[in-house]
Structure 1
Amino acid sequence: MRPPVAVVDDASLIRESFALLLTGLDVVAAVGTVEELLHRRPAVDLVLLDLHLANLEQQPDVRQGIAALRALRSCGYRVCVYSQEERRLVLAACIAAGASGVVSKALPIGRAEQLLLEVASGGTVVPQSVVGILEVLVRRNCITLLSERQRQILHGRARGLSYARIAEQLFVSESTLRGYWLDLTRSLSESLRTLTPGEIEQALGLAPGDLLEPWAGESAAGRDWWCVDTGR
């Protein structure tokens, strides 16, 4: 059974072609803004979100980036960022803000669909560039709740090694390793959300204020009005 998903992208070509190209997903809604999606409230397993949605001069009230992601998460949606964004700190901020995955629009269609299906089924997809950040944070004791085996797996993935290669090195089956990796990415994603910009900056050797994107979760006081009493 194909998982029901929604697409938020301001490019009409992307919205109209998504269901035709990624046939493993059941696209039940394809809209240009987060506001439109939250007005319609489709029941979906996953929302695919482009980070850069509109010209702010023309549509100043449209949420983009981390603000759009938080609006979806605060209403109970599981979100995967599907974007051309490549800046690793922005992508890490997306994971910290609650994204369950980040998938690049530059990937081949088959590979993108495979990763999106993984996120829709409850998995976590973290780009290698962000895995590198996570490894630095673990190595500098900002994230500490990892076993030695998990550290070995993180080390290998941060260097771009395949599941098969890491499994061979650790003398485990590839399926077992994939299970370890799923647990590891979930743990790291949750840990990342608890870190402050100052802690990240210090660990990565950045100057104060270099993390321009919002990092920590939005407070309950900032909860959007449309997410109240919805039952989601």
Structure 2
Amino acid sequence: MRPTVAVVDDASLIRESIGLLMPGLDVVAATASVEELVRRSPAVDVVLLDLHLANLERQPDVRQGIAAVRALTRRGYRVCVYSQEERRFVLAACLAAGASGIVSKALPCDRAERLFHEVATGGTVVPQPVVGILEVLVRRDCITLLSERQRQILHGRARGLSYAQVAKRLFVSESTLRGYWYDLTRALSDSLSGLTPGEIERALGLAPGDLLEFWEDGAADRTADRRAWWRIGRPR
């Protein structure tokens, strides 16, 4: 059975073609904004969300970035960020805000489709650069609820080793290691969501305010969302 998907992307080409390019997904809704999707409230397994949705001066009320992730997850949606964003700390902040996966738009369609399916069926997808950030947080005791075996797995994956390479080093089967990794990524995502931006900034050596904040849904806070995202959330 194909997972049901909603797409939030202001590029009409993406909205109109993703179902054709990824036939394993059942795209039941495709909107240009989070607000439009919330109004329609489709029942889906996962929302594919682009982080950079609109020119803020033309459409000042459109949520973007972390604010968009939070708006969807608070309504019970599983969110997979689908973006060209490459800055590791921004992507880590997406996980901390509740996203269940991050997939790069640079990936081939078949690979992206498999990752979307994984998120839609309850998995967590963390790109390798973000895995490196998570390992730093573990080494600096910001995330502590990991066994020694999980730390070993995280160490290997953070260095770009394949499942097969890590499995060989730990003398386990590749299928067993994939199960460990599934549990590990979910634990890391849950732990990351409990950290404050300040804790993450200090652990990563960022300056105060470099990490995207966690904003509320009120009108005044949406203004802060837009200003902060425009200042530090757009690609450079």
Task: State whether TM-score is above 0.5.
Answer: yes
Cα offset for 1:95? Answer: 0.0
Q: Which amino acid counterpart does residue 9 of structure 2 have in structure 1?
A: D
1:115-149 Cα distance to aligned partner (Å, 9 max, x none): 11110110000111111011011011111110010
Cα offset for 1:210? Answer: 2.2
Any residues of structure 2 matched to 1:120-135 within 5 Å, and which?
120-135=120-135
Match of 1:74 in 2: 74
Match of 2:140 in 1: 140
Q: Are the equivalent residues in 2 in contact too, given 1:167–1:174 (CA < 8 A)? A: yes
Is residue 107 of structure 2 the alignment partner of residue 112 of structure 1? no
Q: Which amino acid counterpart does residue 214 of structure 1 have in structure 2?
A: E
Cα offset for 1:201? Answer: 1.7
Q: Which amino acid counterpart does residue 79 of structure 1 have in structure 2?
A: V
Q: Are the equivalent residues in 2 in contact too, given 1:153–1:181 (CA < 8 A)? A: yes
CA distance in structure 2 between the aligned counterparts of 1:76 and 1:84, rounded to whole angstroms? 25
> What number of residue pairs does the alignment pair up?
222
Cα offset for 1:76? Answer: 0.7
Cα offset for 1:196? Answer: 1.3
Match of 1:163 in 2: 163
Question: Which 5+ residue runs of structure 2 have no aligned equivalent?
Answer: 223-236
Match of 1:184 in 2: 184
CA distance in structure 1 between the aligned counterparts of 2:136 and 2:193, rounded to whole angstroms? 16
Secondary structure in 2 aligned to 1:130? helix
Match of 2:26 in 1: 26
Q: Which amino acid counterpart does residue 126 of structure 2 have in structure 1?
A: V
CA distance in structure 1 between the aligned counterparts of 2:12 and 2:209, rounded to whole angstroms? 36
CA distance in structure 2 between the aligned counterparts of 1:49 and 1:85, rounded to whole angstroms? 12
Sequence identity percentage: 79
CA distance in structure 2 between the aligned counterparts of 1:140 and 1:43, rounded to whole angstroms? 40
1:58-106 Cα distance to aligned partner (Å, 9 max, x none): 1100111111111111111110000010010110000000000000000
Secondary structure in 2 aligned to 1:47? strand
1:149-199 Cα distance to aligned partner (Å, 9 max, x none): 000000011011111111111111111101100110111111111111221
Q: Are the equivalent residues in 1 in contact too, given 2:66–2:97 (CA < 8 A)? A: yes
1:35-72 Cα distance to aligned partner (Å, 9 max, x none): 11111111100000000111111110011111111111
Q: Which amino acid counterpart does residue 52 of structure 1 have in structure 2?
A: H
Cα offset for 1:204? Answer: 1.4
CA distance in structure 2 between the aligned counterparts of 1:199 and 1:115, rounded to whole angstroms? 29
Q: Which amino acid counterpart does residue 96 of structure 1 have in structure 2?
A: A
CA distance in structure 1 between the aligned counterparts of 2:130 and 2:5, rounded to whole angstroms? 25
Q: Are the equivalent residues in 1 in contact too, given 2:47–2:78 (CA < 8 A)? A: yes
Secondary structure in 1 aligned to 2:6? strand
Aligned-residue RMSD, C-alpha: 1.9
Question: Which 5+ residue runs of structure 1 have no aligned equivalent?
Answer: 225-232
Cα offset for 1:223? Answer: 11
CA distance in structure 2 between the aligned counterparts of 1:218 and 1:117, rounded to whole angstroms? 30
Any residues of structure 2 matched to 1:39-54 within 5 Å, and which?
39-54=39-54
- Bigger shift: residues 34-43 or 94-103: 34-43
Match of 2:63 in 1: 63
CA distance in structure 1 between the aligned counterparts of 2:59 and 2:52, rounded to whole angstroms? 12
Match of 2:213 in 1: 214
Q: Are the equivalent residues in 1 in contact too, given 2:118–2:124 (CA < 8 A)? A: yes
Match of 1:100 in 2: 100
Q: Are the equivalent residues in 1 in contact too, given 2:71–2:217 (CA < 8 A)? A: no
Secondary structure in 2 aligned to 1:53? coil
